[in-house]
Structure 1
Amino acid sequence: MNKLFKKIYTSKVVTNGFWLVVLQSFNTIVPLVTLPYITRVLSINSYGEFSLALNWIGYFQVIVEFGFGLTGARKVARRDSDEELSFIHSNILYSRLLLMLLSFVLLIFISFLFSVPREQFLSMLILFLMVLATVFQQNWLFQGMSDMKPIAIINMVSRIISVILIFSLVNDTKDLYLYCFLYISNFLIASIIGYIIVYKKYNVRLIFVRWNHIITEIKEGWYLFISSAMSKIFSGIGITILGITATKSEVGVYSAINKIPLILTLFFAAVSQAIYPYMCEQFSISKVNGFNMLKKISIPVIILFLIPSTFLIIFNKQLILILFGEQYVAYSMLLVPFVIWVMGGIVNNFLGIQSLVAAGYQKEYSKEFQKSIIFMLVSMLLLGYFYGAFGIAYSSMFSELLLTILLYRKIQKIKKFL
């Protein structure tokens, strides 16, 4: 055990993880600071409109990301030369540009198909700049290089600027469009500056790649894209269904309370991104070595996140009252299934991303993910129809727990053949 920790501490994992934690801390603090203010200033209805628009844009972001965050980081970590780094970078950039154009066409089509209200449609158009920012976002490259410090600092500074502008300029319900733009401003700033740093620091250049290279890149990311898309459906389909069956007020309440346990997800994302390149290396040595290392790392991390999770469940009513006010307290028990859902997601990250994907079993991971999604959609339609926001929250929780069982069984089957 001592040798294990000594090896980790003397590598880039701790340094990389530190900056990821710092970055995710900012991503955590910002919602806590701005969310109570925004939910009051914009009113529940306007915040519901914003939540619906942002939820749709989240789907398009997943399309553009397309699993490249993991496949790209893995390729960068295993690269052999600077020339190969430029090739990987260009391949992913061109692939994302193509997917962005497809996403914009889908946005227009969906807006007309569902007769999206004008206010929500304009909000979606503004927020679509997040999708453009995703095209040029280079976090995956910094992660593969185990050098998250530059992009962490950039994101923190741009987010601080965004928060200051929100508090200064958003003062009324009529400021919805302004809030949408300020919300995505930090994504644009971070992507542009990060792109410039990649070019200067790593001597990465945009080179010509053939059409078949782009197709190959998309094919390689397909199974991870399916998993990412399923994950987005896991987190976003509830708001989508509520947008059709419930009032804007209920959508706003559901979306606001859902942000609280997701803070744990933001913190864990830092841990996950720091560990992933290391786990890829361990599985490249041998599958047995990788699974043994995973067990040693995952148990203390999961225990660590159980502490704040328990706190959120016990003091759910008090937290909702302080953060959002009396009008949200009736829905405070939503925190219980939300927190269990998030903890299940943390466990499943170790069982899926840090093990199956890192070991090269992304196809197997994707298949299990799809099974849980089918269960979620059916249960969410049923429970959501009869029990509204509470039914959808518990449906998400049950689906995540099902995925945990499926992934654990898959890993046990794989181990039998090692």
Structure 2
Amino acid sequence: MPSLKKNFTYNLVYQILIVLVPVLTTPYVSRVLGAESLGVYGFTASVAGYFLVFANLGFANYGNRSIAKVRNDKYQLRETFWSIYMLQILVGLVIVCIYLVVTLGIMRQNNIIFLVQGIIILSALFDTTWLFMGLEKFGIVIFRNTLIKILTLAAIFMFVKGPDDLLKYALIVPAGQLIGFIIVLPMAVKEVGKLKFNLKKSFQHFKPVLVLFVPMIAISLFTSMDTILVGIFSSAKQVAFYQLTSTILSMPKSVIGALGAVMLPRLAHTFANGNDNSSTNISVYMDNSIIFISFYSFAAMFGLIGVAPILANVFLGNGYGEVGYLLTIIATVIPIYAWGNLIRTQLLIPKSNDKPYVISIVLGAITNVTLNLILIRFLGALGGVIATVLTEYVLATYVMVYCAKDIHYSRYGMMSGVFISIGIIMAIVTRLIGIKMGYGVVTLMVQVIVGMFIYLSFTLVYLKKSKNKLFSELSLKVLGYKII
């Protein structure tokens, strides 16, 4: 059985890289391209991203789960992989053709940028990372992703020098994605064996893939459509503000995603191959995950609220002050997003309980589109931020109520309350530091150091006083010793 600790470490290292790349590129790109060019990039990338959702359908989650269930049977593994992958290629080709017709035949502006952004859709034809995730061989996926991130980072600094380099910037990111998937493809073929193509069996996967596509298209409505609506109802500058806010938010959210990526195949395998110890194992996995996301998500939320104005100024430069205000509001989504993600990736999807998963996402999408149409018209980027926060609360509340019998929320109430109290203290202190010291890199560094010290030290005091058994057991498994 692959090591959860090892796989989570792989993912965590990569998520740190994901955080570092925007930290390095966003300030640079926002300055050299300017808000106008960055807005054009954000709009075209959102449209391409919308088509990418259709090209991907539900292959990532469905393929991951399907491989996890049959990974002990070599014959079933080969048959399952090729039947799903051939369907993925057929769907991808159709979507690429539709994208070209729409962007080159209907769109009248930025045609070249749209064409270049289309490379990201083409890359979906070569994406086999779901195979390795289902096998819990995260090292291969992390190697590929890390290599591409480093090359992309280098290319941005080498070739993007001013507003006229928008086309180069638009080319670098999708081209890197395409190259990365092509590099991994031979490894996938070696893992499962030679091609075994059966068109009938491929189309047998279409219905369940389509079921998992419904939440994917719904998710795109509040990840891509909001940016598109800001572009339609507001200015390119507002698009830049909204996209930069979302980019910064994606940094703390990525750690939560790393946990879900590791746990989904493990729990899918456990549910599919149940034995007398399965219920105990699942309970332990859930306990550990809930403790981690409670500790982390409140730290991330209040930490971001505390440093938001200074972070926006240092990170993006002059002219982006509105982003600091938007960050303060959107940061409140982190804990509820963490809970929703945990339930989806560790209960609903692994158990093939797709109906409530689909309903929750569709409900969230309807809420998001409705709120965006109302709010963005009058509030611009702020309207998109408010809609995002409210949507995540609706989405997570539904799955939390649905799974109330599986998770005893009261067990974690006291601990979450303490984390919230400590977080509030941290946010107040870091904000006061920002007001006292003024804008600057030194101020931001002091805020981060003081904030971390407050949160960690107060948390350790609480855990030591309460002798929290769950946290003690988790520290023993993760660190090799009990910290309380």
TM > 0.5: yes
Matches of 1:15 and 1:289, distance apart in 2: 21
**CA offset digits 1:130-171 (Å, max 9, x no partner):** 122222122111111111112212221222122112101111
**CA offset digits 1:27-46 (Å, max 9, x no partner):** 22111111111111111111
1:332 aligns with 2:362: no
- Report what 2:400 is aligned to: 408
**Match among 167, 170, 195 for residue 206 of structure 1:** 195
1:238 aligns with 2:226: yes
- Report what 1:6 is aligned to: none
- Report what 1:151 is aligned to: 141
Change (3 A) 1:111 1:24: same
**How far off is 1:242 after superposition?**
0.8
**How far off is 1:338 after superposition?**
2.2
Change (3 A) 1:305 1:317: same
Matches of 1:204 and 1:28, distance apart in 2: 36
TM-score (norm 2): 0.78
1:142 aligns with 2:100: no
Change (3 A) 1:243 1:109: farther
**How far off is 1:311 after superposition?**
0.9
**How far off is 1:270 after superposition?**
1.6
Matched-pair contact (CA < 8 Å) for 1:28–1:267: no
- Report what 2:122 is aligned to: 132
| One-letter amino acid matched to 1:134 | A
- Report what 2:171 is aligned to: 181
DSSP-derived class of the 1:359 partner: coil
DSSP-derived class of the 1:235 partner: coil
| One-letter amino acid matched to 2:84 | I
**Match among 274, 277, 287 for residue 265 of structure 2:** 277
DSSP-derived class of the 1:326 partner: coil
% identity of equivalent residues = 21
- Report what 2:364 is aligned to: 372
1:385 aligns with 2:377: yes
Larger radius of gyration: 2
Matches of 2:185 and 2:30, distance apart in 1: 33
- For residues 17-416 of structure 1, what are the structure 2 equivalents within 5 Å? 17-79=8-70, 80-111=72-103, 116-119=107-110, 121-200=111-190, 202-210=191-199, 212-284=200-272, 285=274, 292-293=283-284, 295-302=286-293, 303-412=295-404
| One-letter amino acid matched to 1:397 | V
DSSP-derived class of the 2:253 partner: helix
Matched-pair contact (CA < 8 Å) for 1:76–1:141: yes
Matched-pair contact (CA < 8 Å) for 1:85–1:204: no
Matches of 2:248 and 2:48, distance apart in 1: 20
Matches of 1:278 and 1:60, distance apart in 2: 30
Aligned length: 403
DSSP-derived class of the 2:120 partner: helix
| One-letter amino acid matched to 2:166 | L
Matches of 1:216 and 1:289, distance apart in 2: 34
DSSP-derived class of the 1:221 partner: helix
Matches of 1:78 and 1:373, distance apart in 2: 30
Matches of 1:239 and 1:178, distance apart in 2: 22
**CA offset digits 1:321-347 (Å, max 9, x no partner):** 001112110332111332223432221
Matches of 1:366 and 1:24, distance apart in 2: 27
Matched-pair contact (CA < 8 Å) for 1:45–1:249: yes
| One-letter amino acid matched to 2:136 | S
Matches of 2:103 and 2:9, distance apart in 1: 42
| One-letter amino acid matched to 1:348 | G
Matches of 1:148 and 1:295, distance apart in 2: 21
Change (3 A) 1:290 1:359: farther
Matches of 1:133 and 1:111, distance apart in 2: 17
DSSP-derived class of the 1:131 partner: helix
Matched-pair contact (CA < 8 Å) for 1:290–1:359: no
DSSP-derived class of the 1:255 partner: helix
Matched-pair contact (CA < 8 Å) for 2:234–2:377: no
Matched-pair contact (CA < 8 Å) for 2:212–2:358: yes
Matched-pair contact (CA < 8 Å) for 1:41–1:172: yes
**How far off is 1:294 after superposition?**
5.2
Matches of 1:143 and 1:122, distance apart in 2: 35
- Report what 2:440 is aligned to: none
**How far off is 1:317 after superposition?**
0.4
Change (3 A) 1:116 1:36: farther
Matched-pair contact (CA < 8 Å) for 1:42–1:173: yes
| One-letter amino acid matched to 1:336 | T
> Structure 1 runs of 4+ off > 4 angstroms?
286-291, 413-416
Change (3 A) 1:379 1:366: same
Structure of higher RCO (CA pairs closer than 8 Å, 6+ residues apart): 1
| One-letter amino acid matched to 1:332 | G
| One-letter amino acid matched to 1:102 | V
**CA offset digits 1:378-408 (Å, max 9, x no partner):** 1111122222211121111111101121111
Matches of 1:397 and 1:269, distance apart in 2: 18
TM-score (norm 1): 0.90
**How far off is 1:203 after superposition?**
4.3
**How far off is 1:255 after superposition?**
0.7
| One-letter amino acid matched to 2:52 | Q
**How far off is 1:85 after superposition?**
2.1
Change (3 A) 1:112 1:184: closer
